[in-house]
Amino acid sequence: MDYGKVIIFSAPSGAGKSTIINSVLRTFPDLAFSVSATCRAPRGAEEHGREYYFLTQEEFKQRVDRGEFVEWEEVYTGISYGTLKSELDRLWSMNKTIIFDIDVKGALNLKKLFGDDALALFIMPPSVEELGRRLRSRGTDSEETIRKRLGKAEQEIAFADEFDCIIVNDNLENTVKITEEIINSFLHR
Ligand code: 5GP
């Protein structure tokens, strides 16, 4: 595969990752978001080909067997997510630098694959307690789901040191500014 640069974001759920990514995409027109494949069902207004490529479990498995993924992980029990090689080719053929929003294991696998052509960023919540407050104030999840996410967050934070940069999101405006500075120097080095 003939490839360009990639920027990989990973963070515990509730750390503010999506807001940061959307802001970065507006600032840098040469960046494009990698649409992952998943076998979970679409949520709300999500559309096939925009948020995700929604596949059945069977289709997902067949594509794994055919070697069509650069990486894939069973992020939640029975629910896999992965990056299709065809998605990277699609974005690179438009001369884009690719932005990924993927789980910690997938992120570190891509970092291994792309080396210095990859910038792996870990968005860190100020603390697990603050993450809990943020998830509860969203009001969208049950207490049980929140506890599960906090448990997963602790596991994910344990891998933070393996990323190129850890960015603590204690103030969104500031975090976006720092993230954009890091991306700018990565793109121009
Ligand atoms: P959600 O179901 O909330 O959209 O995403 C769940 C998790 O799957 C998030 O942590 C997200 O980063 C991760 N994820 C999304 N796409 C991919 C992918 O292509 N590969 C991997 N390894 N993880 C992904």
Q: Please, are residues 162 and 109 in contact by the beta-carbon 8 Å criterion?
A: no
Question: What's this model's pTM, rounded to 2 decimal places?
Answer: 0.93
Helix (H) or strand (E) holding 69: strand 69-76
Query: Which atom of ligand 1 is found nearest the CA of 38?
Result: 16
Q: Is the pLDDT of residue 8 over 90?
A: yes
Cα angle 69, 70, 72 (rounded to 5 degrees) comes to 65
Under the banding of pLDDT at 50, 70 and 90, the label for residue 149 is: confident
What confidence score (pLDDT) does residue 16 get? 87
Nearest CA to ligand 1 atom 20: 82
**Could you tell which of 50, 60, 77, 102 is best to mutate to test the pocket of ligand 1, judged by most ligand atoms within 8 Å of the CB?**
102
Residue reference for tokens 């080396």: 115
SS3 label, residue 133 = helix
**Could you tell which of 39, 40, 101, 110 is best to mutate to test the pocket of ligand 1, judged by most ligand atoms within 8 Å of the CB?**
101
Distance from Cα 53 to the centre of ligand 1, integer Å: 12
> DSSP E strands: which ranges in 68-140?
69-76, 79-84, 97-101, 118-124
Q: What is the pLDDT of residues 20-29, one digit of tens each?
A: 999 999 999 9
The two tokens of residue 87 are 């998605």
What confidence score (pLDDT) does residue 91 get? 96
User: How many other CB atoms are found less than 10 A from the CB of residue 4?
Assistant: 14
Under the banding of pLDDT at 50, 70 and 90, the label for residue 175 is: very high
The mean pLDDT of 108-118, rounded to a whole number, is 96
User: How many other CB atoms are found less than 10 A from the CB of residue 152?
Assistant: 16
Q: What is the pLDDT of residues 38-47, one digit of tens each?
A: 999 998 899 9
Distance from Cα 16 to the centre of ligand 1, integer Å: 14
The total number of residues written for the chain in this structure: 189
* Residues within a 6 A CB radius of ligand 1: 36, 40, 71, 73, 75, 81-83, 101-103, 106
Under the banding of pLDDT at 50, 70 and 90, the label for residue 140 is: confident
Query: Which atom of ligand 1 is found nearest the CA of 36?
Result: 19
Which of 168, 164, 171 lies closest to 189 in space, CA to CA? 164
Under the banding of pLDDT at 50, 70 and 90, the label for residue 2 is: low
**Could you tell which of 8, 34, 103 is best to mutate to test the pocket of ligand 1, judged by most ligand atoms within 8 Å of the CB?**
103
Under the banding of pLDDT at 50, 70 and 90, the label for residue 1 is: low
Nearest CA to ligand 1 atom 11: 102
